[in-house]
Amino acid sequence: MLSEYYQAATRAAALAEKDWFGILKLTGSERVSWLQGMVTNDVQRLKPGSGCYAAHLTPQGKIVAHMNVLVDEDAIWLSLERAAIPGLTAAFDKLLIMEDVQVLDVSNDYSILGVVGPKSAAALESWIGEDLNLAGKYAHRKFDDSRIVVAQIGYEAWVARERADKALRFIAQSGATAIDHGTWDVLRTEAGIPVYGVDIDETTTMPELGEAGISYEKGCYIGQEVVAKVKYIGHVNRRFVGLVLSGTDLPKLKSPILKSDREVGYITTTLFSPGLNKPIAMGFVSRAAYAPGSEVEIASNETVLAASIVDLPFTNSV
């Protein structure tokens, strides 16, 4: 079924229920100024209906959670992996002193539906009965009690949970093929998107993922000193990269990456890419090895697999 699902996602429209994602809602008169000091990107510059990618860090610069930040007239919405929500809410709770900010986990109030493919906008417009009128990544609009977001891949529809089944059926009847989590994992891997708890965790720093989600012009935030030192004084010791394998075998997760018989990193995600018709992987490699085009080896199951490091994303298929 993967081939059928992948074709729908890259040539027509596909629909997935992203039940591994959740939502935090921030309200209160000081929500914007408070969150500005909590995350790596510039929240204060955002207008209602816009958003950005950001992360909350420890004082040592490690990622507590990475998230999409969406700003409304009366609230800020954070979309992130459910696996990261307990750690983020615990961190926020400790950092809220006297500020007028309320943080509410509304994950169980909504179903997040991912809709991707060249015909995804048309399927959503058929569902809501009007044009989306959304331009640019993280743009979003409320429709009745639902919200549509321009996501990192395609769109997301945030639907009140009691209406989710009806919305799923309607969007499917509008031309979107329902796909499984495995197909979505292929799409997000080809797009080079890391997942908290799979590719990244509390040992990862934001600069290791690149500069997306980091503002170097905004005011102070927790972990900023570490991030700034990496950019202006030092360097990252490792980087999150893509790898394209030469053969047909898939390495095991956490398999070591070798260069000149020396271990320089490890694999976090690996699967077969229909877009490239080759096995691909993502993982971390040391600074000495992460130049695109570098030839490396992956040690797995007592065999050595040849691979080359590539820039992310692997493809722009969705």
Domains of the chain: 2-190 (3.30.1360.120), 237-318 (2.40.30.110)
Residuewise pLDDT in 10s, the chain (318 residues): 678 999 999 999 999 999 999 999 999 999 999 999 999 999 999 999 999 999 999 999 999 999 999 999 999 999 999 999 999 999 999 999 999 999 999 999 999 999 999 999 999 999 999 999 999 999 999 998 899 999 999 999 999 999 999 999 999 999 999 999 999 999 999 999 999 999 999 999 999 999 999 999 998 999 999 999 998 988 899 999 999 999 899 999 999 999 999 999 999 999 999 999 999 999 999 998 888 899 999 999 889 999 999 999 998 766
* DSSP 3-state of 80: strand
Q: Are 99 and 34 in contact (CB under 8 A)?
A: yes
Residues in the chain, overall count: 318
* pLDDT the model gives residue 290: 87
Report the distance separating Cα 134 and Cα 298, nearest Å: 42
CA 12 to chain centre: 22
Report how far apart, in Å, the C-alpha atoms of 94 and of each of 29, 38, 87, 222 are. 19, 12, 11, 13
The pTM is what? 0.95
Strand stretches in the chain, DSSP E? 14-17, 21-27, 51-57, 63-71, 76-81, 102-105, 110-116, 140-143, 146-150, 155-160, 177-178, 238-245, 256-259, 262-273, 278-286, 295-300, 303-310
pLDDT of residue 65: 98
Q: Where are the alpha helices (DSSP H) in the chain?
A: 2-11, 31-36, 85-95, 120-128, 164-173, 181-190, 224-232
What is the pLDDT, as a whole number, of residue 1?
Answer: 60
Maximum alpha-carbon separation in the chain: 59
Strand partners for 16? 114
CA distance 44 to 34: 10
Provide the 8-state DSSP code for 104: E
φ, ψ at 56 (rounded to 5°): -105, 135
- 313: cis peptide before it, omega within 30°? yes
Asked if 210 and 238 count as a contact pair (C-beta separation under 8 A), the reply is no
- Measured from the Cβ of residue 75, the count of other Cβ atoms closer than 10 Å reads 16
Please state, in angstroms and rounded to a whole number, the distance separating the CA atoms of residues 50 and 77: 11
What is the per-residue pLDDT for 2? 73
Question: Under a CB-based contact definition with an 8 Å cutoff, are residues 194 and 200 in contact?
Answer: yes
Query: CA nearest 16: which of 160, 133, 188, 145?
Result: 188
Nearest to 205 by CA among 1, 105, 86, 58: 58
213 Cβ partners below 8 Å, 6+ apart? 40, 41, 52, 53, 54, 55, 66, 206
Q: Which residues contact 277 (CB under 8 A, 6 or more apart)?
A: none
